[in-house]
Every structure is written in C-alpha cells, then in structure tokens.
Structure 1
C-alpha cells in the first residue's frame, strides 16, 4: 500500500503537525518549519525540537518532509536575493536536522537573465549550503511547472543540476505530477506514465525519487499553469493518477498531496481517493 500524506499546518506549535496528519488519515506528512511567506524564523528551542520528535514518534508517521519557504530563489541573478536564498537554504537544512526531518524539498527557482546561468547558480547554492551544513538531511529538487524563466521544468535540466552537485548521498528528487503535466509531460494514461518514467530512469534514475507530490492539475498539458486540483478532478484525471500510483517505478515512493481544501473536499477525502485509485482497475484505458 502506498505511503500517503498531505502538507499540514504548524499553527500553534510545530508538534501539533503530527496530530493533524493523523486526523487526516496520513502515513506521512510535509510541513513548512516556519512562516513560508517571510524571511524571519523563530528559533527552534531544544524543547520545541523534543516535542516535535516525540509527537512524530508517538504517531508512527514516516517519513517526514519539510518544504522550503516561498521567497528564496536559488537561481536568482540578483546578488542580494541570491545571498539571502543560500542563507535560507542553510537555515532550513539546520532546522530539519534539529527536528529529525530527513528530507527538505526545494524548487530550483527562476532566472531573470538566462536559465543556463540559473542552473549554474543553483548548483553553486547547494554546494555552498552543504559546505556550511554537515547534517545528513537530504535535499530533494522539485520539478517546476514550466513558468517563464523557471529552472527545473525539464527533466534534462534537473539531471544537469544533479550532475553538477554530484553528492548523491545528500540529493534526490521530488516529482510533482501537476508541475510535470503543466510542463508538457503527459500523465493521463498508463502508456504516457511509462514514457515519463523511462525518461526519468534514463536521465537520472527512478531510484533518485524520494517523494512524489501527487497533485491533479487545473490547466492543460503544457499550459505552464501551476494550479493544483483535487485528486482525479483535474486534467490528469482518475485514470492518470491511478497509472502513476500503480506504475512499478513509482508505486513504492511516498506521496504527499498538496491539494485544495474547499467545500468539495478536504485532505482526508483526497487521501481516501488515493487509496481507492491505488487499487482500482480501469478498463479500456
């Protein structure tokens, strides 16, 4: 059975996240370690870290993932933004280490001058961060949705960045289905999913994927629209999501849903749909 979860809030205190994940029927979960819309971060005390670790241990949820805040841009051509982004990456790696979170997810960012130069800056940023952080937290590079000037929308770009970083022990991939679809990778049928899986395996290996952000998409394939939809309700659809869940290259990888919470569905309902689609047999697909 797939290990599935959602992104949960840390409102109130970090340790409350585990309970929220349990309430939603999760096996694993993802958090921001701080306010994702600001640069400042409240210090994690020893008591905070112990409370979080104890809550996770009591819940039996694993693995746990953290996500970088929204503001840092590791591909930025602007020196001040770039410096702040590297510092933010170092800080998040350190916070994950304190909390016992083994994985940190990051977008590669946007380059206002040239995406090739942006890729080089991402490599340099990660290497600088690893030089300043000696923890064993694994950094997961997340594919982006094909927005203008984005770095990491193409699988080839991610392979180039991985090769530039070089340290396989501290890097991996977070594969986002909505982002991939928006960037032009069709995921609507088993054959299409197999084609994408083959490309991944050829470029850097399916074994490098440590997490799937399992999100349906509001936009069309290749639209560049980073808008997530409820599982099975978007342009990828139930057949496509089921094909991802059932593909032998993907079906042992933990999934986190970053789907909407609205009057149609909440997190628990999307997890339930994931469970159903994992086992459902579709005819004439």
Structure 2
C-alpha cells in the first residue's frame, strides 16, 4: 500500500501577481498553500487580471498543490456592533467567496470576529445572522471554514463549543468545516502539549464538530504561552508548545491526515525553509 503523502504548506505572498504565490510554494517544496486574495488590511479589493488567474490555475495543477486555502481579510468582523463595520464585513466576505471561486480555491478561512462592545453570546448571534445573509446571497463551490481563535477580549470562537454553535445556528452548506490553529488553541486554554489537554481538545472536536469537518491545521507555536489569550505566533519549537508538543499533535491519529499550513513569523528568507524542515523531521 502506498504511503499517504502529508499535505504541508505555508502562507505565501501574492506580491507581483496571485500566480506567484504558487511558484513560491513550489520553491519551498510545499504541496498545499494558503494566500490572501488581496491586501488583507484594506476594504477595497482590486480585480485580479484574468491572465494571472489562468496562470494560478495552471501552475497549481502542474505542481499538484492541493488544497488551496484563502485566508480572509483581518478587517472582517461579523460580530461587530457597529452597523457600518458589519455591513462592510458581509460585503467583503461575499467578495472573498467570489474570488475563491474565480481561483478554484478549495476553502476560505474566516475568523468570525470580536464582540468587544457586547457579550460573546450577543456577538455569536450577530455573526450567525451575518453568515445567514452571506449564505442567502448565492451558492459557491469554495467552502467557508471557521477558525478557532486565541480568546482575546471579545473573541466569539475561541472554544470548540462556540464554533459549533455558530455552524449549527447558521445551518448552511456555505460552512464546510473548521480550521484548528495550535497557537490559538493553546492560548485559549487547551493545554495541547500534554496528553490530558490534547485528549480534551480531541474529545470536544469529536462531540461538537466531528473530525470529518476538520479540514486544516494551522501549525504555529505560541509566543505568549498557555492560556495567555494572546494571538502571537512563534517559530516551531521556540514557543510554549515546543517541538515535542507539536510533534504529538500532528502525528496523533485524529490529525495525521489533515493538511498543515504554517503561519510562523517571516523576518527573513530563511524562516519558512527552516520551519518547514523542522516540521518535516517531526512528521
């Protein structure tokens, strides 16, 4: 029986054209990739040239880079109490889904948002209503994935039960599953570096979401550490989870077939190759 090839990639830049993100992934020896489809810190989305879209699809096919994940803009906040921000967020998410279909991307990753002015419960209800509105807009081929967050003030999706509540409340095929971020889980209070904490997370996923719905692992070490409620990624092995903790996580039977994307710091050209090399040795 042939050995299953683990899908491992990083978040690559679209600078110079979206198709170049695939070239960058290939150069790093990746067989999956995550990108932004536009500047994630701007509300305005520029149209992607058709030749760049075509090249993106062709390169992806020839290099066998699958799946392709698009991370949504950091500006989107579906739990916002500010009506203007909420409307702009819904509009931008619809645009993100449209671009994903243009690029034949498999999944779009979303941080649902923060309810800093209200309770988390109120924020979740607002996000559910916003997602229902997006779902009514049209049907996309690309699936929306909800990501667990680090539990910063106002976070509405830092626990598995919270994400399940949003998925169940939305009740739409728009949402195709979840992304589990190791740094976020650790910061939110899941002590995944030890057996008991890891088992606890796995049990919650199993009960509330189901492992068939976990489509991606964001593999990041945690700079600020366990239950810090701070979203700060660190190089693999240099943070609070450590090499051994991450090794246990990615090789656990529950996660061992799920694609991995690194979102580790990029201070120099050597950072991605070094982190990837460490992860390959851990697999």
Q: TM-score, normalised by structure 2?
A: 0.94
Counting only pairs closer than 5 Å after superposition, residues 263-274 of structure 1 correspond to structure 2 as 265-274=270-279
CA contact (8 A) 2:144 2:174 kept: no
**C-alpha RMSD of the superposition:** 1.4
User: Which one is further off, 213-222 or 124-133?
Assistant: 124-133
Residues of 2 paired with 1:67 and 1:133: CA distance?
20
The match for 2:130 among 114, 125, 128 is: 125
Corresponding residue for 1:251? 256
Residues of 2 paired with 1:28 and 1:91: CA distance?
23
- 1:190 shift after superposition: 3.6
Residues of 1 paired with 2:6 and 2:248: CA distance?
13
For 2:276, what is the secondary structure of its paired residue? helix
Counting only pairs closer than 5 Å after superposition, residues 42-191 of structure 1 correspond to structure 2 as 42-111=46-115, 112-168=117-173, 170-191=175-196
- 1:215 shift after superposition: 0.3
- Structure of greater relative contact order (alpha carbons < 8 Å, 6+ residues apart): 1
Tell me the number of residue pairs that the alignment of Structure 1 and Structure 2 aligns.
Answer: 278
Residues of 2 paired with 1:233 and 1:170: CA distance?
33
Structure 2: 5+ residue stretches without partners? none
CA contact (8 A) 1:75 1:82 kept: yes
Corresponding residue for 2:21? 17
Residues of 1 paired with 2:21 and 2:173: CA distance?
29
Q: TM-score, normalised by structure 1?
A: 0.94
CA contact (8 A) 2:149 2:184 kept: yes
The match for 2:280 among 258, 275, 280 is: 275
User: Could you list the runs of 4 or more consecutive aligned residues of structure 1 that deviate by over 4 angstroms after TM superposition?
Assistant: none
Structure 1: 5+ residue stretches without partners? 279-285
- 1:45 shift after superposition: 3.8
The match for 1:225 among 219, 223, 230 is: 230
